Amino acid sequence: MPASGCRPRGAGTPGRPDAGRHAHPPHGRGGFIGSVAARTLAAAGHDVLALDSLRPDVHGDRTTPELPGDVPLVRADVRDADAVRSALDGRDAVVHLAAKVGLGVGIDDVDDYVSSNDLGTAVLLRAAARSAGGRAPHVVYASSMVVYGEGAYACAEHGPAHPPPREPADLDAGVFDPRCPACGRVLVPGLVTEDAALDPRNVYAATKAHGERLLAAWTRATGATATALRFHNVYGPGMPRDTPYAGVASIFRSEAEHGRAPRVFEDGGQRRDLVHVDDVAQAVLAAVEQPQARGGVEAFNVGSGVVTTIGDVARRIAALLGAPAPVVTGEWRAGDVRHVTASSEKAARVLGWRAEVPVDEGLAELVGVSAR
């Protein structure tokens, strides 16, 4: 579980995204996104402190996060109130990345998801409200595209539509696109914007959506500022392999590296927005340095703005590594969504942030070869 806190260099307290005079304590700073965010914040002049439990079900056997040499690491759970309170002391900002990640499609570990993510967020916010100096730090919260459920759709007859979960009978028959709830026609996908209704469809998604709600309640009670960054499909060097949160890019890479054809579920036409971890770290930096209106939460999509299908990702990675062409299996999983692609124009307009790493270049970097 990563978290970070920061404050500006020379402010007197170390932090991940420092808290205190432009400081942010990072919770979950030792993770895939957190370690890159820590380096980016430190390079921008922030005094950063990282807090991470390094729990094995999130980090695997990685016990030493890749952090800059001047970024101290506190090894503690985000639910440890004393450790979090100490990490937040003197910070102007906190970047909250700590979470148990994955699909959370079953209920066997629902209590762990809720405890790790919801209780962890509550403990952090309570500590932030009582931070030294009497002024709550700015909070940047790692939310996710999963809070939307399905993305944006339109029906030729009925206009914008928000479809319910897909029917198993349709999926078994190879009809993978959602249907209009009014007339049953197959819907046309578009780009989801931040004003879309939240519709989390698995346990992990529910905890992320609830985290945003907790943040909203906290800002109203404290008058503090908070930003929710809804990360889309983050990828890049250092992303975990063969874990529930690895994402299809990492899973396809693992298959191709072993000379196996990547296996693609459904028909491969699922639309996603792949955004490079370096771009995500820059979005974190922008959110840290530009708090929005007090007493509320400002949400931003963090995506590349480029639509990429899952089948195309598999084909590109297989070609880069000289592996067999992907196999489209037609298999489907309950809880998966069909299309989620983002409009990130709000982040560009308000924060001045845009993704810069092209998908072809980023995937080549991910698999360790030159783009061709």
- How is residue 82 written in tokens? 């004393």
Of the candidates 42, 11, 10, 12, the one whose C-alpha atom is nearest the C-alpha of residue 26 is 42
Of the candidates 273, 283, 282, 326, the one whose C-alpha atom is nearest the C-alpha of residue 304 is 273
| Alpha carbon separation from 128 to 96, 132, 237 (Å, rounded) | 11, 9, 32
Point out the catalytic residue in the list 113, 148, 204, 235.
204
**Bridging pattern class, strands 263-264 and 159-161:** unpaired
The shares of helix, strand and coil residues in the chain, as percent rounded to the nearest 5, are 35, 20, 45
Residues 125, 137 contacting (CB under 8 angstroms): no
Can you tell me the distance from the alpha carbon of 209 to that of 207, in angstroms, rounded to the nearest whole number?
5
- How is residue 361 written in tokens? 């270049």
For residue 324, how many other CB atoms are within 10 A of its CB? 12
Residue 50 φ/ψ, nearest 5 degrees: -105, 140
Residues 140, 229 contacting (CB under 8 angstroms): yes
- How is residue 15 written in tokens? 């932090």
204 is annotated as an active-site residue: yes
Residue pointed to by tokens 């698995």: 202
**Bridging pattern class, strands 93-96 and 2-8:** antiparallel
Active site residues: 204
